[in-house]
Amino acid sequence: MVIQHILQTIVNNIKHQIMKPIKLTLILIALFTTVCCKSQQLIKTEKDAHKIKENEKQFINKPLKDLLKEIKPQIKRVFGNPIKNSYETVGYFMFNFVDLQQYDSLKVNKKTPVTIVVYVKEYFDWDFHKRPKGKETVWTKDDAHKYENLTVVGFRVYGDTTIAN
Amino acid sequence: MHMITKKITKIFTILFIGLSFSLGCSKSYEKNLINDDTDTDIFSITEAKNWFLSNSDKIKINSINGTKVQAIKIKSFSVNWDKAIFGSDDKYSVVECTLHFDFYPGFNIFNKGNTPSVDKINGITRLIILKDKKNGKKQSILMHLFSTSSKIDESITYFNRDKQFSGHVFFTDLKGNFINGWIYENGKIIKASKKILLTNNIVFKSNSIRTTLANDVCSTYEISWYERDCVEYYSGNVVCGPWNYIGSTFQTYCVSDGGGGGGGGGYQPPVDPVTDPCSDAQSAANVVTSLSQNNNYINAKSIIQTSNPNIEQNVTFGKDANGNITSSIITSCNSSSSCAVNTNWPGAFSDLHNHPDLLPPSPGDIYNLIGVNNNHIGYNTRIVVTPDGTVFALDILDLAMANTFKATYPPVNIGYVPEFPSEIFDKFHDVRSAFILQGFSNLVSEERAMSYILDKFKTGISLLKQDTNGNFKRLITNENLSNGNTTYSTNNCQ
């Protein structure tokens, strides 16, 4: 009986010793997967911009923030165009991954940078001339927060994906 | 002796080969139609070929040795230089070549509004290189033939029309943009393409248009473009796949007394009836100004402006049997299905609606008006009033041009709202943002961008704005290129 108990204890200890690193490994794998999944954004580079159109059902009638969190490259230029009456036309944001100067320089060379136009259902407050002087076209964290709940109703994606940022 | 005989034989052989070669290459066609005897500056096939090959980059199309370039309507083609033929008339020396296409073009041409029959599709397209006899300037165009009897005679050329030929001969640039055309019946020209302005003293009668100015009877034709893949076997057999529809253009043809190059029916660049854009739109501007002074208009506009500013309201204006202006009841656009204008109002020729936003006429207004005008001849004006009382008017000056614009740049739907396709949208945004960055308001920037787009993309539509005196004037925005920079400026009509 005593021998049996001793043997059982030894087996348990061995089990514990083996299981400990396995458990740790499993926890680490779970953590890694979670982090990786979080960083698996749909639009990793400008070249992926067209994926928005391909996956538009994922974003239509959803808040703007759902779309924005899938875009990894930094939005460097934005133009807003709010509309009150959605039966006439729809308001939109026009996003680029190049800043105003780069945009103008590309246009001079007859190139069109990658452009994502996001149409939204609701009227939103946007007056170019009331935005911070010199930074009117800069998309800020405050903007992202302010407009995050606007409902996305459509997209337009175009431009030359071969243009390096 | 043997050596001398050998040499003589050699010389004769060379001469014989040379003579055969030159006779074989020159393949002069329909000699009686060619005025090639007095012209000292004959345009040779070699000269035409060299010019075409060396300019292929500039004219954005290739020849047999070049890189193939895609075009809007006409896909890439190769030129059969060895089968080229030449001729001349009093204006041009002409080289004509048959072509090999990746996809062969075909046409179906019919009076607008008629239903085309699919078995009528046919066509021949050839490359024409012209050298102006006065200044030596060369240009390349495409000649397209379409037979109304479905069967087309391959022997028809730039100079030679078959006496039995009934159909269309029309010319485009290498991208397929229309230049001019002729309609034949039994080998005789019965109609010629004409650029007309619909607002220039026109009396409308059913589907035809009578211009009292030139006393012409004109009508609009739809040219439906098709293409198909064909395989040519060594045996000479050609097997083709089914025709695929690729788009339509619209042209106005008027009864003609003949003319044109080479015995009639040649290349003839159209002359704009009015080249000044302000004169071009003056008649339309006068009509809208006059309408805006009418009591029915003033009352309807007042009701619309004092109604709920967040909802679009619209009213249609017509004319009764005595020519008096009438107005329909005002309808509200508070759902996607209730926004249609009342096109059935008797004598309808114009409508008015408000925009809840400070925006000029929208892309939806433009595309819709083209559709309305096609179904209601004479209904070619749409007026928009904004919350600050600014009044704009869209006016279709050339319906054929507007239809071609709509066919070339069909609207994209964002939800249920028609919008410009991305090419135009992007340009619109660039012009609009250029003015916004200069400090102009959104409304002014939008109206300038819209007037630019309407001209740039050849819509045949003018954007008018009411001035402080109550007169409507055409808005004109120009693009200026200087030192590699693009700027935009206004040159509005006064």
Note the pLDDT tens digit of each residue in B357-376: 999 999 999 999 999 988 88
Mutate to test the interface with B, among A60, A78, A79, A89 (most CBs of B within 10 A): A89
pLDDT of residue B208: 39
Read off the pLDDT of each residue in B253-278 and give the average, rounded to a whole number.
65
Nearest residue on chain A to B439, judged by CA atoms?
A129
| Record: contact B310-A83, CB cut-off 8 A | no
Tell which wins on pLDDT, B37 or B323.
Answer: B323
pLDDT of residue B212: 34
Mark out chain A residues that contact chain B at CB-CB < 8 A: 79, 82-90, 94, 107-108, 112, 115, 117, 119, 127-129, 153-154, 156, 158
Q: Using the CB atoms, write b or e for B146-173: b if 16+ within 10 Å.
A: bbbeeebeeebbbbbbbeebebbbbbbb
| Record: contact A115-B364, CB cut-off 8 A | no
| Record: contact B312-A108, CB cut-off 8 A | no
* Mean pLDDT (chain B, rounded): 79
CB contacts under 8 A, B 332-351 vs A, are: 333-336, 339
Contact list, A88 vs chain B (CB under 8 Å): 312, 333, 339, 355-357, 359, 362, 364, 417
Percent of chain B with pLDDT over 90: 37
| Record: contact B357-A85, CB cut-off 8 A | yes
| Record: contact A85-B356, CB cut-off 8 A | yes
Nearest residue on chain A to B418, judged by CA atoms?
A89
DSSP B32: G
Tell me: pLDDT of B81 over 80: yes
Of A79, A90, A108, the CB nearest to B417: A90
pLDDT of residue B134: 84
Name which of B28-32, B242-246, B341-345, B422-426 the model is least confident about: B28-32
Name which of A79-83, B105-109, B193-197 the model is least confident about: B193-197
Name which of A3-12, A82-91, A115-124, B153-162 the model is least confident about: A3-12
List the one residue out of B437, B433, B431 whose CA is nearest residue B475: B431
Q: What are the Cα distances from residue B489, in Å, to A92, B423, B444, B449, B478?
A: 26, 21, 12, 10, 5
Read off the pLDDT of each residue in B60-80 and give the average, rounded to a whole number.
49
pLDDT of residue B72: 40
CA distance B453 to B366: 11
Answer yes or no: are the C-beta atoms of B211 and B196 closer than 8 Å.
yes
| Record: contact B336-A87, CB cut-off 8 A | yes
| Record: contact B414-A90, CB cut-off 8 A | yes
CA distance B253 to B186: 18
Token digits for A74? 């930094």
| Record: contact A117-B357, CB cut-off 8 A | no
Contact list, B431 vs chain A (CB under 8 Å): none
CB contacts under 8 A, B 463-492 vs A, are: 484-486
pLDDT of residue B398: 86
pLDDT in tens, B302-320: 999 999 888 889 999 999 8
pLDDT in tens, B127-185: 999 998 888 888 999 999 999 987 788 888 998 887 888 999 999 888 777 888 999 98
Answer yes or no: are the C-beta atoms of A63 and A36 closer than 8 Å.
no
Contact list, B310 vs chain A (CB under 8 Å): 84-85
Tell me: pLDDT of B475 over 60: yes
What residues have CB less than 8 Å from B329, skipping those under 6 apart? B315, B342
* Mean pLDDT (chain A, rounded): 83
Contact list, A94 vs chain B (CB under 8 Å): 429
Size of interface A-B (CB pairs under 8 A): 72
pLDDT of residue B301: 96
Q: How far is B306 from chain A (nearest CA, A)?
A: 17
Tell which wins on pLDDT, A4 or A56.
Answer: A56
Q: How far is B429 from chain A (nearest CA, A)?
A: 9
Report ipTM (2 d.p.): 0.78
Answer yes or no: are the C-beta atoms of B473 and B493 closer than 8 Å.
yes
Nearest residue on chain B to A103, judged by CA atoms?
B430
CA distance A102 to A135: 14
Q: How far is B135 from chain A (nearest CA, A)?
A: 33
Read off the pLDDT of each residue in B463-479 and give the average, rounded to a whole number.
96
Q: How far is A19 from chain B (nearest CA, A)?
A: 57
Detail the DSSP E strand segments found in B241-364: 244-255, 312-319, 325-327, 331-333, 350-354
| Record: contact A108-B485, CB cut-off 8 A | yes
CA distance A64 to B386: 29
* Ramachandran area for residue B174 (φ above 0: left; ψ -120 to 50: alpha; else beta): alpha
Mutate to test the interface with A, among B311, B422, B482 (most CBs of A within 10 A): B422
The identity of residue B77, as a single letter, is F
- Judging by beta carbons within 10 Å of its beta carbon (0-12, 13-18, 19+), is residue B125 exposed, middle or buried? buried
Contact list, B363 vs chain A (CB under 8 Å): 89
Of A82, A117, A128, the CB nearest to B436: A128
* Ramachandran area for residue B201 (φ above 0: left; ψ -120 to 50: alpha; else beta): left
| Record: contact A129-B422, CB cut-off 8 A | no
| Record: contact B433-A79, CB cut-off 8 A | yes
Q: What are the Cα distances from residue B398, in Å, to A131, B40, B491?
A: 42, 43, 21
pLDDT band at residue B223 under the 50/70/90 scheme: confident
pLDDT band at residue A37 under the 50/70/90 scheme: very low
Tell which wins on pLDDT, B302 or B378.
Answer: B302
pLDDT in tens, B384-408: 999 999 999 999 998 888 988 998 8
Tell me: pLDDT of B205 over 80: no
pLDDT of residue B440: 94
Of A87, A107, A127, the CB nearest to B430: A107
Tell me if chain A has a CB within 8 Å of the CB of B414. Answer: yes
| Record: contact A88-B312, CB cut-off 8 A | yes
Q: How far is A51 from chain B (nearest CA, A)?
A: 17
Tell me: pLDDT of A39 over 60: no
- The most confident of A150-164, B22-36, B213-227, by mean pLDDT: A150-164
Tell me: pLDDT of B10 over 70: no
- Judging by beta carbons within 10 Å of its beta carbon (0-12, 13-18, 19+), is residue B344 exposed, middle or buried? exposed
Read off the pLDDT of each residue in B442-462 and give the average, rounded to a whole number.
95
pLDDT band at residue B431 under the 50/70/90 scheme: very high
Tell which wins on pLDDT, B37 or B178.
Answer: B178
pLDDT of residue A142: 94
